[in-house]
Amino acid sequence: MRSLDVIVEDNKITIAGFYLGEVFEYTEKLWHYLRTIIPKNKLNSILLEISALSNLKELKFEWSVSIEVLSDLGDNLLEYILSRLLQENFLTDYSVELI
C-alpha cells in the first residue's frame, strides 16, 4: 500500500507523495474540507500550495500539497487543522507517515 508523508513545520503542513493525476483532485477535496472546519473569518489566513519534486537521475515527479497558516493565530489554527486531518486520515485511503 502506498503511503503519504506528512511534514509539520512551524506554520505549514505538507502532504507529499501524490502522482500528478491525484494532486489536483486531492487539493479540491482538501479545499472543500477546510472550508467546512475553519470559521469564515479565518479563511483568508490559509494558503494551499501545490509543488513537485524530482531528482536529476530520473525525471519523475512527486507532488505535494501544503497548508500554510499566515495569521498570528497560526499555532492554534494549525494544530486544529492537523488534529482534524489526523482524525480523517488526511482524507485519503493511503497510510500516512508523520515526519
What is the three-state SS of the chain?
A: CCEEEEEECCCEEEEEEECHHHHHHHHHHHHHHHHHHCCHHHHHHEEEEEEEECCCCCCCCEEEEEEEECCCCHHHHHHHHHHHHHHCHHHCCCEEEEC
**What is the per-residue pLDDT for 9?**
92
**What is the per-residue pLDDT for 74?**
59
Domain positions in the chain? 3-91
Instruction: Quick: pLDDT tens for 56-81.
Output: 888 888 999 999 999 776 578 999 99
CATH class of 3-91: alpha beta
Instruction: Name beta bridge partners: 13.
Output: 8, 67
pLDDT, averaged across the chain: 92
Q: pTM of the prediction?
A: 0.90
